[in-house]
Homo-oligomer: A and B are copies of this chain.
Amino acid sequence: MKVIVLGGGRVGGPMAMDLNKDERFEVTVADYSDKALNNIKTKCPEISTIKKDLSNPEDVISLVNDYDLAVNAVPGFMGFKTAKAIIKAGKNSVCISFYEEDPFELDQLAKENNVTMIMDCGVFPGMGNALIMYLAQKLESVENVMVYVGGLPVVREWPTEYKAVFSPMDVIEEYIRPARCIENGVLVVRPALSEVEHIFFPQIGTLEAFNTDGLRTLLKTVKAQNMKEKTLRYPGHAEKMTMLRKLGFFSKEKNIEIKGMKVSPLEMTAQILFPEWELKPGEPDITIFRAIVEGIKDGQKIRYTINMFDRYCAETDVISMARTTGYTATVALRMVVDGVYTHKGISPPEYMGKYPECIEYLLKGLKERGVNWEICREK
């Protein structure tokens, strides 16, 4: 089967290489960056590459038409358009592109075209959603869902002690957008970066966790009395980011005048932070996920804990962000090909969690790639 990977970046590249290991797949990567494509070519010559600007949906449709499957790994700002184009081309796909638009707008179209599209197929949103749904279904009622997730550099550099493979603009967006959560059955909104708490992780030490708007589809798909998501960073990060926000460095208002031109502080701040936050080649990163799911079963209070901790792989030079996000998507794609997951239309990742066989498939596939998700149950 012919697979097209749209976006050959630091996550898309490893996804293509993982898919290439599968005899069934003939893999092609499309990207506009020669650097990205050459990087893949040198590591894995069997993969075909196409230099292409994917910003025009029409081009994407005609490109995807020649393939049987698609992986959507483009930057967030063009993710929705690309997803729509893949559906129009009538191909099954998985998507790790994190966009703001509501993917369910595409559900009808996907059903009409009889395609399966698994969206947000990473860590959280991603495998985390699937496991929370899986556990929620084991319970008669869900009391609490508490999610902690973060990707961090191993080496901590003062002051922000943070690095990522996506743009500072996307990170800052998490620090601006109000965080929706469920408290006592009611949807409430808390400021981003608020309610900082400290959590000890034996593998990396004490981290801080603060509110961000990460629940997204789970707010509708899982019914719980209390549900909250927090982002993990090294202690002190939240206060520093709150300071920048309070001082106005994250403002989108064009309230700064440079040589008669109105600009927004955020435009400039994102540029200033880019070199600071860029995870350099070979720099090791980690990914941490922990969720607590509490509820009642057979009249008994049950507490499940989900844990995942992953590190950069020096041997393959694949960053943890790519391992945990990309491999979830590539395993999910296989699951669709194998007919284990057959839902037509748009699937948020938690839909996979409705089927124990899917969870089993995903856990096994990720374990084979060294990404270990663990569920423990306490009475």
Contact = CB atoms under 8 A, between A and B. Distances in A.
Interface of A: 158-160, 240, 242-243, 246-249, 251, 256-259, 261, 263, 265, 267-268, 271-273, 275-276
B263 A159 contact: no
A175 to B, nearest CB: 14
Contact of A265 (B158, B257, B268): B268
A160 B242 CA distance: 12
13 contacts: A159-B246, A160-B247, A249-B249, A249-B272, A251-B272, A256-B268, A256-B271, A257-B271, A258-B261, A258-B263, A259-B261, A261-B261, A263-B268
A249 B276 CA distance: 12
B246 A272 contact: no
A275 B265 CA distance: 14
A211 to B, nearest CB: 19
Report, nearest first, the 9 A-B pairs whose CB atoms are least far apart: A159-B243, A248-B272, A258-B263, A256-B271, A268-B268, A256-B268, A265-B272, A159-B246, A247-B276
A305 to B, nearest CB: 35
Number of copies: 2
A171 to B, nearest CB: 14
Nearest to A269: B249
A275 B249 CA distance: 13
A268 B73 CA distance: 34
Contact of A272 (B240, B256, B261, B275): B256
A161 to B, nearest CB: 11
Contacts of A242: 159
Nearest to A251: B272
Contacts of A249: 249, 272
B259 A247 contact: no
A272 B247 contact: yes
Contacts of A246: 158-159
A276 B248 contact: yes
A89 B272 CA distance: 47
A271 B261 CA distance: 13
A276 B265 CA distance: 14
Contacts of A158: 246
Given A159-B247, A243-B243, A248-B276, 14 more contacts: A159-B242, A159-B243, A240-B243, A248-B272, A249-B249, A249-B272, A251-B272, A256-B268, A256-B272, A257-B271, A258-B263, A258-B267, A263-B268, A265-B272
Contacts of A272: 247-249, 251, 256, 265
A159 B273 CA distance: 20
A233 to B, nearest CB: 15
A265 B276 CA distance: 14
A244 to B, nearest CB: 8
A268 B251 CA distance: 12
B247 A273 contact: yes
A176 to B, nearest CB: 15
Contacts of A251: 272
Indicate the member of A251, A258, A273 with the most B CB atoms within 10 Å.
A258
Contacts of A276: 247-248
